[in-house]
Amino acid sequence: MSKPSIDRSQPRFEFEPDPALEAFIERRAAAKAEAQALYWRFRLITIETMMLGLLVGAAGLALHQPPFLVFRAAVMVAAGCFASGILLIGLTGAIDKGIMRLRAWWRAR
pLDDT at 35 over 70: yes
- Domain ranges, ordered by start, for the chain: 38-108
Give 37-93 pLDDT, tens digit per residue: 888 999 999 999 999 999 999 999 999 999 999 999 999 999 999 999 999 999 998
Give 7-24 pLDDT, tens digit per residue: 777 777 777 778 888 888
pLDDT band at 103 (very low <50, low <70, confident <90, very high): very high
pLDDT at 2 over 70: no
With beta carbons less than 8 A apart as the criterion, state whether 77 and 56 touch: yes
With beta carbons less than 8 A apart as the criterion, state whether 89 and 41 touch: yes
Q: How far is CA 64 from the centre of its chain?
A: 39
Report the alpha-carbon distance of residue 63 to residue 106 in Å, rounded: 58
